[in-house]
Amino acid sequence: MDVTAPVTIRAAPVKKAAAVLSFELDLPRALTSPTIARRHTTSFLDEHDHAGVAADAGLIVSELVSNAVMHAHEPIRLVVAIDASVRIEVIDGDHHVERVLLQQLRTGAPGGRGLQIVNTLATLWGTIHCDIGKAVWAELQLPGRGIELRS
């Protein structure tokens, strides 16, 4: 995928009890992907009146996409959905869910802080198996809304 080419974003409401707005973005395994993903996420949240969580969501997206670029395989796909919360999923072609671990921080060691940042900012986060590999997901509570636990 040419990262300088325009990116097509599919945004459509999903029929449920309440409308869910979402977009998907396919990304290359490239150093520019975290920046592209962050920019699209913050713009999407700003456009839908959720600027209050856009910065945290953008940081979570950057960290999760960076991990996929550094440690996983293509395809890499970002999915962001707004419902009772903001749900972020980064799907990649690596089936090894068990590799996604919070690392013990080591003073002076480069890296290893991405999931610590996600763990601090997200209301909930985790990993699941999916058809193409795994998804690392995180949810952010929207201001004025309670936490909705999903099964």
Higher pLDDT, 126 or 98: 126
With left for phi above 0 and alpha for psi between -120 and 50, is residue 112 left, alpha or beta?
A: left
Q: What's phi and psi for 52, nearest 5 deg?
A: -65, -25
pLDDT tens for residues 45-100? Answer: 999 999 999 999 999 999 999 999 998 999 999 999 999 999 999 999 998 777 66
Amino acid in the structure at residue 38: R
User: Does the domain made of 21-141 have the CATH classification 3.40.50.920?
Assistant: no
pTM of the prediction? Answer: 0.78
Name the burial class of residue 128, with classes exposed (0-12), middle (13-18) and buried (19+) by CB atoms within 10 angstroms of its CB.
exposed
Model confidence at 146, in pLDDT bands (50, 70, 90)?
low
Average pLDDT along the chain: 83
Looking at residue 29, its pLDDT comes to 95
